[in-house]
Structure 1
Amino acid sequence: MKYLIFGVIGIVFLASCATDDTTYEVGSDFIENNIQVRVIDTFSIKAGTFKLDSLITSGTNRILVGNVVDEKLGSISAKSYLQLITSSFSISTDAVYDSIGMVLNYDNYYYGDTTKVQTYTLHRIKETVAPADDATSFYNTSSLAFDPAILGQLSFTPRPNKSTDSLFVKMDDVLGEDIFNKIVDNDINNTDDFLQYFKGLVIAPDTSVNSHVLGFNVQTTASTVGNSSMRLYYSIKDDDSEDNDYYIDFVISSATQQFNEIKTNLSNTIVGEFEDEEEIKLSTSTDNLLFAQGGSGITARIEMPSIKRLAELYENASTLSAELTFNPLKRTYNDDNPLPESLLVYVVDHKNRIIQQLTDIDGNTASAILVEDTYEFNEDTHYSVNLSGFVEQILNSETDLNYALMIQYPNYSKEVNNLVIENNASTNKEIKLSVKYLNY
C-alpha cells in the first residue's frame, strides 16, 4: 500500500515534489482502512524581491533623518518635512528676543552605525504642506519645494538609547527675530497668519556620509514629554531687573502634516533598480537572496505554485497543518540591524497587489515568527509561518488564484531596517513548505 502511494506522489508532483514524503496510516488495525496522514515538504518555491510603488509615511509621529549605505541594498536616505504651529501668539512688549532652534528628542529608534558623525541641515519649505493630486496622505516618494539656504546646521554623534537626551539645532537669528517681532507687533496673531509667513521646515542629512538613520518623537501637543519642536526663546526683565527666561514651542499641526521622504539608490547592487511594482527580481538572479526593507518598499515575495496540485491526489482530503520556514542570511543582522521577533505576511496577487493579511486556518492573523538558534553559531535561526489557512484557501478555490506571500517589517512605514533571506540549496538554506495532509 505504501509503495503504491509513493508511486502516485512521484507522478503527480514530478515537476514540483520529490518522492521522499512521510506517510502515516491511521487505524491500521481496521480492515481496508484508507485514512492516511501525509507530510509533504518538497514543494517548488519561486522566491524573489519586488518594490512597492509607495508607502504612507505621514501620521507616524516619527521624524526619520539620516543616510546609510548597505553592501547589498545600496544607499537609503531619509529627510523629514514638518508643518509647525503654536497655540501661543502673545509676547509682552517688554520681552527681548534670545534665540531660536529645533529641539529633536530621540524616540530610541536607530539603524546603522551610531558611532559615526552625521550633519543635519534645516531648510524653509516654500509651498503649502498638502498632499499632491488630491491624495489624503504623504508617501515615502513625496517631497515639497524648499529653500536651499541653510537655516541651521549641526554635526553630532548620536546617543539614541537615551530617551531623555535630545539634539538642539541652532537656527538663523534673522528668522527668529522676525517671528518674534511679528508676534509682539500683532502682525501674526493666529495659525493662518503664521502658516502664511512660515509654511514649514525640512530636516535633511548629509547624504555623502555613510552613518545612520535616527528616529525622533514628534507630537501635536507642546506639553508632551519628549516632544520635538521648533523653540523660540525670549526673556523679560522683572521689577528687580533680573531676566526671566521664556519660550514658545512650535509643534506639528497634525500627525498627517509631517512626513518622511525616503530615497534609495539600487543602481550598483545585485538587485538593481525596479521599473515598476510588477517587476520581480528572482532570487536565482540575486545570488540566491531576497530582500525586505522598511521605508523603501523593497519587499520579499514567496510563491508556491504547486500547492494547487495537492487536490489532484485524492477526492477527499484536508490540510491538518502547513508551515513555511526561511532563514535570514548570517552576518546580515546584528545589534545595529537586529532581527524582529515577527514579520508581517500579506497575500498578494500576480501583480503584487495586496489582497489581505495572512490568516491561519481558524481565521487568526498569521505572522512570520522568529525562532532563534541558542547555539553558538546560530546555524538554525529561522522564521516560521503558519500557512494552514493559505493552503486551504488555494485548494478550496474553484479558480487558480495565483497568489503569493509578501514579507515585510512590522513598522515598515516608519523604519528602514533591512532583512536578507537566503534561498540556496547548496547551503541547505532553502525556503521550505511542509504540509501535513489528511486523505480519506
Structure 2
Amino acid sequence: MKKIQFIPVLVCLSLLAECVNDPNTLGLSNSTFSSDYDVVVVDTVTVRVSTVLLDSFPTSNTGVLLVGGYNDAKLGRMQGEGYMQIGTGNTWTPPADAIFDSLVLIAHYSGYTYGDTTVAHNIEVRRVTQPFQVYSMPQFWINEGQYSALYTANSKFNGSAMRYSAQPIGSKKVRIRAHSSDSLMVRINDDLGREWLRLTKENSPDLIEDSRFSEYFKGICMGTDGTDESVIGIKTENIKIRLYYKTYVGEQLTQQYHDYTFTTNLFNYSRFTADRSQTSLNTLSLAADEVTSVKTDDMAFVQSGTGLVTKVTFPYLFRLLRLTDVLLVNQALLVIEPVKDSYNDQHPLPSSLTLYHTDKRNLPLQRVYANYNTNAYQSATISFDEEFDKSTGYQFVVTQLAQQLLSTDGSTDRGLLIMPDASQLNTTVNRAYFGAGGDYRIKLKIWYTKLQ
C-alpha cells in the first residue's frame, strides 16, 4: 500500500519541480514547510555502457554521396562509396560529322570532409553491373516484433552492396579542396564515349530512351583505392557525364558537348564498410551484437555511416526508491563526455546527438521525447569547455525519463541508444569516443528531494 500511494505523489511533485530552473530548490513557497526537506544530488548511479552495431539504415536520396575512408586506432578502417544512376539528359541529335573528343564525369563538393585531406585521394569510377532495386518490409514481422525505427520503405541502405566492374572506367588522383568552388572532373574511358556517340548517331534506343539507357548503363560507383585518410561529400545535384565532340560550324571545327545528367527521380545512395578485425570491436558483425566498455578500455563509440552507437542501461536506478525517502526528482541530466584528446579539427565530434529507446535486440525502437513535451524529441548539441577543457560534452535533460525509470523495476534489457540524429547518421562519418569510467564519462546526475 505504501508504494501504491507514493508513486502518484512522486509524479505530481515531479511535474511541479519542472517549473523551477534551479534543481536545488523545492519549488514550494512555504519556507517552513520546505525546511523539513533536503535537496540531494547524486551522480554515482551505475550506468552500464556498451557499443552496438545498428541494423541497416537508409542512405538514399540525401543529396550527398560520401566517398573515401580513414583508419582509426579504436574503430579500424572505414570506407565509403557512392552509387547513382545517370539519365540520358535532353534530347539531342549529333551531326553526322561529329567526332568524339572525350567523356568526363563532372561533380561538385558538398563542403563536408572528415579526416586528413592533405593525403591525396585516388578517385575511381566504376560501372555498376546490376539493376538498382529496393525492397519493402511487411508492416509486421511474423512474430509481430518491431523492426528499426530508422527503417523507411523504398530505400537503399548503408550496407547495400551492388556489383560493379572490376576495372575502373575512370580514375584521377586529386587533393581535395572541399570548400573551394572547384569541380571534381574525372576522365572516363574513351571507348565508352565513342560507343555512346556511335549508338546515338544510329538512333539506338539504348542511348535515346531513358528506360533502355538505365538497362544498358545501369549506373556508376564513385570510390577510392583505400589509401586515403579522409571522407569527402559529393553533391548529387548537377552530377553529369559530359560527352565532348567536335563538329564543323561553317568551315570552323568547333567543340560542343552533350550532358548525361542525374535527376532526382534516379537512385543514389552511400554504402559504408568497416574492417574492425584488429580492434576490440572485432566481434561486432550483427545488429544484436554488443561489446561492453569493460572490453574496450572503459570506452564506448559512435561512428556515423557505419552505424556504431553507444548503448546505456541503468540497472539499479530503481533501488534509489528503496534506499532513500525520495519525494520528487527535481532534475535529471544525462551527461555524455568524450574522452580527452580523442578529437581534433580533422576529426570533429558529432555536432549533436539524440536518444532512442531500445531493448535486448539493440534496435532503435522509438526516439525519446523531449522532457515533458511530446511535440519534440531529445537533442543535445556539443558544448566545448574552451578554458579548462574539463566539461566538453553533451547534456540531455531527462527528468521525466528518470522519473519513469525510478518507478519501474530495473532491467538490463531496456536502455537507451546514444547516436547522431538520422539526418547526420547517413550524411556524415563523424566518430566519438565516450568515457565509461574515470574523469570523462557518461553519467546520470539526479537532483531529488527527500525528507530530512
Same structural fold, with TM-score higher than 0.5 when normalized by the shorter chain: yes
C-alpha distance in 1 between matches for 2:326 and 2:302 = 38
Q: CA shift at 1:315, angstroms?
A: 8.2
- Aligned counterpart, 1:284: 294
C-alpha distance in 2 between matches for 1:32 and 1:366 = 32
Q: CA shift at 1:420, angstroms?
A: 0.7
- Aligned counterpart, 2:330: 320
Q: TM-score, normalised by structure 1?
A: 0.84
C-alpha distance in 2 between matches for 1:432 and 1:324 = 6
C-alpha distance in 2 between matches for 1:34 and 1:348 = 39
C-alpha distance in 1 between matches for 2:276 and 2:306 = 11
- Aligned counterpart, 2:95: 93
Which of 215, 223, 230 does residue 196 from structure 1 map onto? 215
C-alpha distance in 1 between matches for 2:129 and 2:315 = 51
C-alpha distance in 2 between matches for 1:41 and 1:78 = 39
Distance 1:253 1:24, change over 3 A: closer
- Aligned counterpart, 1:306: 316
- Aligned counterpart, 1:355: 365
Distance 1:156 1:244, change over 3 A: closer
Moved more, 298-307 or 360-369: 360-369
C-alpha distance in 1 between matches for 2:365 and 2:124 = 41
Q: CA shift at 1:169, angstroms?
A: 0.7
Q: Which amino acid in structure 1 is aligned with residue 379 of structure 2?
A: S
2:254 corresponds to 1:236: no
Is the Cα contact below 8 Å between 1:85 and 1:253 reproduced in 2?
no
- Aligned counterpart, 2:45: 43
Distance 1:268 1:251, change over 3 A: same
- Aligned counterpart, 1:187: 204
- Aligned counterpart, 2:68: 66
- Aligned counterpart, 2:235: 217
C-alpha distance in 2 between matches for 1:29 and 1:118 = 68
SS at 1:371 equivalent: coil
Is the Cα contact below 8 Å between 2:171 and 2:187 reproduced in 1?
yes
Q: CA shift at 1:306, angstroms?
A: 2.2
Which of 434, 443, 449 does residue 432 from structure 1 map onto? 443
- Aligned counterpart, 1:79: 81
- Aligned counterpart, 2:377: 365
- Aligned counterpart, 2:146: none
Moved more, 330-339 or 109-118: 330-339
Moved more, 428-437 or 286-295: 428-437
SS at 2:400 equivalent: helix
Distance 1:165 1:36, change over 3 A: same
C-alpha distance in 1 between matches for 2:161 and 2:34 = 70
SS at 2:179 equivalent: coil
Percent identity among equivalent residues?
26
C-alpha distance in 2 between matches for 1:75 and 1:326 = 25
Aligned pairs for 1:242-257 within 5 A: 242-252=253-263, 254=265, 257=267
- Aligned counterpart, 1:30: 32
Distance 1:196 1:429, change over 3 A: closer
- Aligned counterpart, 1:19: none
C-alpha distance in 1 between matches for 2:260 and 2:212 = 16
Q: Which amino acid in structure 2 is aligned with residue 416 of structure 1?
A: V
Unaligned stretches of 5+ in structure 2? 1-22, 138-152
- Aligned counterpart, 1:393: 404
C-alpha distance in 2 between matches for 1:418 and 1:124 = 31
C-alpha distance in 2 between matches for 1:355 and 1:29 = 44
Taking only aligned residues, the RMSD between alpha carbons, in angstroms, comes to 2.7
Q: Which amino acid in structure 2 is aligned with residue 148 of structure 1?
A: A
Aligned pairs for 1:90-129 within 5 A: 90-94=92-96, 95-129=98-132
Is the Cα contact below 8 Å between 1:41 and 1:432 reproduced in 2?
yes
Distance 1:24 1:118, change over 3 A: closer
Is the Cα contact below 8 Å between 2:120 and 2:228 reproduced in 1?
no
- For these two proteins, the number of residue pairs brought into alignment is 406
Unaligned stretches of 5+ in structure 1? 1-21, 220-226
Which of 151, 168, 189 does residue 185 from structure 2 map onto? 168
Which of 333, 337, 353 does residue 347 from structure 2 map onto? 337
2:427 corresponds to 1:414: yes
Q: TM-score, normalised by structure 2?
A: 0.82
